[in-house]
Amino acid sequence: MATSKAQPPLITVLGSLNMDLVSYVPHHPLPGETLTSSRFAVSPGGKGANQAVACAKLSRSQPSHPTSTNETPTARIRMLGAVGQDTYGEQLKSNLSSFGVDISGVIAPPSLKTGLAIIIVDEPTGQNRIVLSPEANHSLQASQFSTPSSLGDPLPDLLIMQLEIPLPTVLAALRVARDAGVKVLLNPAPAQELPAEAYEGLAHLVVNETEASILGGVAESDLDTESGLEAVGQTFLKRGVQNLIITLGGRGVYYVSADGKKGLVPAEKAKVVDTTAAGDTFVGRYALDVVSGNFNIEDAVRKANRAAAKTVERLGAQDSIPWRDEL
């Protein structure tokens, strides 16, 4: 299908690229409250770009590692998306390239600004709140993804998408991938209702508790028990999903597959500093197992869980994602 046997598998990420403006505060502000942050950072982000970087970094050792010079990455990573013709856009593309991501599919439409994310991190807990300004990300139109060639040449072994670009665009790419025989991993964040066609034959669906609740049509409290998780899991399997992952924060990760495998993997112990990009790290590590040629859902979840735990112990988004040799 996508790649020659002489080359590592190809993962294509279609999604958002944002510049993150991050403030670290003693607590999340109450309505009408003004806080002074303890520190501020500007760093590359966006769920699409974060997941591309996660795939890239977790597929190889860090450049300073003794084996990195003659090491072959376990996967090739390609990014499809849009930035503005501005300094932030150039920084985002340069950062992706520095991690070995192919950015030939990242466009920069004239007169548009690069997407921004305003992130407030509660320092005592590491929990964040995020406000997105999509800007150029919303210039990606469904009409641009009407043929297999829109996914790049060669076709990828796996297409990863999120919902920080327009939903019609995601659905169009889903249809093209399905018709071309390309497996899709969908991480529907931020959550919004999806049509039935989105689930039909979907290889991998990765959601958190909130997303599982919204998309599964159940109260979030229903997911407090394993029986509740199994019930919502069956809902997604009946819709056509082949592998479902529900990340549960400190409770761990629940998984269920159409071939009968299921389980609840405990959370890894970690000193939480900043949860930004933890979910994206999980997706990246999981995706590498998907294209490895020896996919086992439980093993994939455990490895992804371990990688995400490393991410939350560090500040930032892409900088906090570990390299393969750090796990």
**What number of H helices and E strands is found in the chain?**
7, 13
Instruction: Give CA–CA dist 193/53, Å, rounded.
Output: 27
Instruction: Give CA–CA dist 253/212, Å, rounded.
Output: 12
DSSP 218: S
280 is catalytic: yes
Residue of 222, 280, 289, 299 marked catalytic: 280
Instruction: Give CA–CA dist 71/54, Å, rounded.
Output: 17
Instruction: Give CA–CA dist 130/127, Å, rounded.
Output: 10
- DSSP calls for 37-106: -SEEEEEEE-HHHHHHHHHHHHTS--TTSTTGGGPPPS-EEEEEEE--SSHHHHHHHHHHHHTT-EEEEE
- Active-site amino acid positions: 280
